[in-house]
Structure 1
Amino acid sequence: MPKALCIGELLIDFVSTTPDVTLAEAPGFVKAPGGAPANVAVGLAKLGMDAGFIGKVGADAFGDFLRETLQQNGVDTDYLIAGEGSRTTLAFVATRSDGMKDITFYRHPGADIQLSRDEINTDYVQSAELFHYGSVSLSHSPSREATLHAIQSAKAVGAMLSYDPNLRLMLWDNAKDAKHWIWEVMPYADVVKISEEEWEFVTGDAGLEQGIDRILGLGVKLLVVTLGERGCYYTNGITDGFVDGFIVDVVDTLGAGDAFVAAMLIQLIQHVDLLSLKKVQLDAIMRYANAAGALATQKVGVIPALPTHSEIESFL
């Protein structure tokens, strides 16, 4: 049984071959496997952890490609289900050199939101020490109920729970629903990572202070705000700090946050009590994660760009 499990969307990103153009202007696209929780699963596997992925793809050529990609990268796919009634979700992505993205999703509905509660194997979920989730799979039923059930099952046995809201507003019926469900699953998490561009929508706080208090007040033990090339800010309510990022020549920013999360989690899982971590330890963990994020920007597409431990070490 895998030590780490990730649940949520697995899809195909069609990434523009030319940066700094709109989707309409893009002359061509490169097919790349994607979906934030799946990227984290591969990131963990590449860093040496037994990882599995729970989700749904279409019973189609794209779904087969995604399953093979996860397997080739050492991720357990026993509970990656191929759904007959819907197609694998596709996303068309135009990246910009400033890190912002122009994304259009094709999912009407996509297979990723067809995962149902009765397709969750509770024993499989509860065998994991680390459980990672996002908010995209909460956007519609039945994947909303499936995700909630899995989160609650993992929490019940004391796994370390990690949450990256990974805000994709265009996948929700409306912003109010998005905000409601993003907060609904926050209290289950031990570790929360939010990107700077998502912060104000999620917390309603243009600064950091009120949002931090609200999130830590729910019982979250470690909150990390990623700041792109500027690095990250972390706090556990006792210790906090900014850790500088690394300046690199960026090829594609897609998935840098997922690489960051995987690298951070592989370090954190070695510590039972997140609240007892000292500043020197947290600084080192975040520096390692920042390095992973920087390395992930060096290739087009996410999964091929996710670094190994030796690549991070040599970069550092």
Structure 2
Amino acid sequence: MSLDVICLGELLIDFVSTNKDVPLTESTGFLKAPGGAPANVAAGIARLGGTAGFIGKVGRDPFGYYLKSVLQHLKVDTSYLAFDEEARTTLSFVAQKPDGDRECMFYRHPGADMRLMPEEIVESYICNATIFHYGSISLGSESSKAATFRALGYARAHNLLISYDPNLRMDLWRDSEQAYKEINEGFGYADFVKISEEEYPFITGCQDVEACGRYILDRGAKLVVVTLGKNGCYYTTGQSSGYVAGYAAQVVDTTGAGDAFVAAMLHNFAHCMKAGVPHLEQGLPQMLLFANAAGSLATTRIGAIPSLPTKEEVEALIV
């Protein structure tokens, strides 16, 4: 089976507060929504009309079965989504606070996603993809970290384009020192890195987007994109750099917006690579405009996977 993108990492349930502009302590109801950053990217690619597979682990519980059915309904390949017999599916509770920041609390002690094993990574599956995508959350436990790096080794050996989202969730790490060390270690394989303006000061120690871009390029990436919310994004390849404007939106929930952005970028990368386009850099501004539109649309609905836009919706916003 040939796939545009294979994503590895967490698949979980977000319980999103139904109350607007209140913290979790004051939320009176929650809406169940499937999520997990790498799974969101796989789902986003499928929604845009691409082909995607997902590698990860959920609990053998009602939430785990539900999540598998969601991905299958979207036509994401789940051949290597495993079920854990001991740990339960990870849950996350999310609220949008009055200051606009998102509050998130995880139930994961441990979650099934932390128990993905290296021996569950199959080389023949990865080598048939065009792009491999991973995040930093799977680097937080010994088992899933080993599985991630085995997959990355296969992806590099077979010359896949490798994409990394250093998704910062401080409460999933033992302490800030571990978070900094493990997330930075994740840069070592990446060709493309997407990082947000909220994340980069801690992860890179840089105080502006240009310095952040140079920091990550120095670690081996060929393209770095810093998302700037409603202000769009900044990109750099070392040879060229610039800003691409964003799109205004009536924001309901920002969960998954960054993943919608990544999905849009990888969808276009895969299309260009399969078409034999020699230099992806030439079409970057248009790809980033498309990705900004996808991220903007994702903020207008509740939840991560439920908010991911179709290609037609993105194109309608750009026109």
Same fold by TM-score, threshold 0.5 exceeded? yes
Q: Once the two structures are superposed, what CA deviation does each residue of 1:196-220 show, in whole Å capped at 9, x if it has no partner?
A: 0001001101123333222112221
Q: 1:223 to 1:155 in 2, by over 3 A?
A: same
Alignment match, 1:215: 216
Quote how far apart the aligned CAs of 1:255 are: 0.5
Contact 2:5–2:266 (CA<8 Å) still a contact in 1?
Answer: no
Residue correspondence of structure 1 range 161-240 to structure 2 within 5 A = 161-240=162-241
State how far apart, in whole Å, the 1-side matches of 2:206 and 2:51 are. Answer: 37
**One-letter amino acid of the counterpart of residue 296, structure 1:** A
Instruction: Give CA-to-partner distance per residue, 1:65-93, whole Å, 9 cap, x none.
Output: 00000000110111000110110000000
Which residue is equivalent to 1:130? 131
Residue number in structure 1 paired with 2:47: 46
Query: Given the superposition, is the C-alpha separation of residues 274 and 9 from structure 1 closer, same or farther in structure 2, using an over 3 Å criterion?
Result: farther
Q: Matches of residues 1-316 of structure 1 in structure 2 within 5 Å?
A: 1=1, 2-96=3-97, 99-272=100-273, 276-278=279-281, 281-316=283-318
Q: Aligned equivalents of 1:70 and 1:296: distance in 2?
A: 17
| Structure-2 change in CA distance of 1:133 and 1:204 (3 Å) | same
Instruction: Give me the whole-angstrom Cα distance separating, in 2, the residues matched to 1:163 and 1:98.
Output: 29
Q: Which amino acid aligns with 1:182?
A: I
CA distance in 2, matches of 1:295, 1:28: 24
Letter in 1 for 2:258: G
**Consecutive unaligned residues in structure 2, runs of 5 or more:** none
Gaps in structure 1 of 5+ consecutive residues: none
Contact 1:97 1:250 in 2 (8 A): no
Identify if the C-alpha distance between structure 1 residues 266 and 177 changes in structure 2 by more than 3 Å, giving closer, same or farther: same
Instruction: Tell me, in whole angstroms, the C-alpha distance in 1 between the residues paired with 2:122 and 2:100.
Output: 37
Equivalent AA in structure 1 for residue 171 of structure 2? M
Shift of 1:99: 4.7
Of the structure 1 ranges 1-10 and 193-202, higher mean CA displacement relative to structure 2 is found in 1-10
* Separation (CA, whole Å) in 2 of partners of 1:119 and 1:274: 34
How far off its partner does 1:277 sit? 4.1
Give distance in 1, aligned partners of 2:145 and 2:121: 12
In the TM superposition, what whole-angstrom CA distance separates every residue of 1:241-274 from its partner, at most 9, and x where no partner exists?
1111111111111111000100011112234499
- In 2 relative to 1, CA 6–97 (structure 1 residues): closer, same or farther, beyond 3 Å? farther
**Distance in 2 (alpha carbons) for counterparts of 1:39 and 1:4:** 12
Identity of aligned residues (%): 53
Q: Quick one: distance in 2 between partners of 1:97 and 1:123?
A: 48
Work out the CA distance in 1 between the residues paired with 2:86 and 2:198.
35
- Say if 1:93 and 1:102, in contact at 8 Å, map to a contact too: yes
For residues 57 and 179 of structure 1, do their structure 2 counterparts lie closer, same or farther at Cα, with a shift above 3 Å needed? Answer: same
In 2, Cα distance between the equivalents of 1:97 and 1:263? Answer: 29
Distance 2:211 2:298 in 1: 31
Q: Is the 8 A contact 1:15 1:94 kept in 2?
A: yes
Shift in alpha-carbon separation, 1:156–1:203, aligned structure 2, 3 A: same
What number of residue pairs does the alignment pair up?
315
User: 2:21, 2:98 within 8 Å by CA — same for their partners in 1?
Assistant: yes
Q: C-alpha root-mean-square deviation of aligned residues, in Å?
A: 1.6
Give the whole-Å Cα distance in 2 for the aligned partners of 1:305 and 1:136: 21
Q: CA deviation at 1:131?
A: 0.5
Deviations 1:161-190 (A, max 9, x none): 100011111101111111111111212111
Instruction: Give 4+ residue runs of structure 1 displaced > 6 Å after superposition.
Output: none
Q: SS at the partner of 1:192?
A: strand
TM-score, reference length from structure 2 = 0.95
Secondary structure class of the residue paired with 1:142: helix
One-letter amino acid of the counterpart of residue 153, structure 1: Y
Letter of the 1:103 counterpart: C
Single out whichever of 30-39 and 178-187 deviates more from structure 2. Answer: 178-187
Deviation at 1:151, TM superposition (A): 1.1
Q: 1:99–1:228: 8 Å Cα contact kept in structure 2?
A: no
Judge conservation of contact 1:221–1:275 (CA < 8 Å) in 2. no
Displacement of 1:305: 1.1
What secondary structure, in the 3-state scheme, does the structure 1 residue paired with 2:149 have?
Answer: helix
